[in-house]
Amino acid sequence: MAEKNSTAISDALAALAAGDTARLQAVPGVGKRTAERIIVELREKVGVTLPDQAISVSRGDDPLSLAREGLLGLGYTLSEADELLDGAEGSRPEDLIAHALRSARR
């Protein structure tokens, strides 16, 4: 049984690392938006990275604009993204998105 759990954990980590929303959507009750949130919120916490999909930010990129684009990519509308980012704290897009997703749960 321990081997089965180890395989399940490895599969879950692989899904997080790959951003594989389809694999997470296979869980009953998990839709696309929830799967995307799981990936965004847990990827950093469990220490998985995407070696082939690094995001580079140049000096001219506005963190708020990048965070807004990230929320739009997660399926939020522009008005929802702006509302979630209103008052968000942080200097990096990742911090702003994390704050916005935490406030969306309330």
The domains of the chain are located at 2-46, 63-104
Tell me if 103 sits within 8 A of 86, measured CB to CB: no
At 61, list the tokens: 């990129």
The overall average pLDDT reported for the chain is 77
- What is the band of 10 on the pLDDT scale with cuts at 50, 70, 90? confident
Class of domain 63-104: mainly alpha
**Predicted local distance difference test score (pLDDT) of residue 59:** 46
Tell me if 55 sits within 8 A of 85, measured CB to CB: no
pTM over 0.95: no
Q: What's the maximum distance between 2 C-alpha atoms anywhere in the chain?
A: 52
User: For the chain, how far is it from start to end, CA to CA, in angstroms?
Assistant: 37
Q: Rounded CA gap, 11 and 3, in Å?
A: 12
DSSP state of 76: -
Question: pLDDT digit string (tens) for 38-79?
Answer: 888 777 666 655 544 444 444 456 888 888 888 888 888 888
